[in-house]
Amino acid sequence: AALAEDAALLEQRPRDTLAETESARLRERYGALGGAAPRELLAWLDGAWTFDPDCLTD
């Protein structure tokens, strides 16, 4: 339910454009949940899976 409620924010906004208050709210919300999906979202907020444009060049 939490991911469904936050889907629009997470799909439309790059991580680096989230306000501190938005990031803090997401951390609080998903930090209180168990399971793989909340852990992955918290890792993403911490910078995991950062896109490196150098991977597109030869």
Confidence class of residue 25 from pLDDT cuts 50, 70 and 90?
very high
Roughly what angle, to the nearest 10 degrees, separates helices 36-45 and 20-31? 160
Q: In this predicted model, which residue has the larger pLDDT, 51 or 14?
A: 14
Q: Which of 24, 25, 26, 50 is nearest to 38 (CA)?
A: 26
Nearest of 36, 33, 45 to residue 1 by alpha carbon = 33
pTM score of the predicted model: 0.80
Residue spans per domain, the chain: 2-46
Structure token pair of residue 34: 């168990």
CA dist 8 and 46 (Å) reads: 20
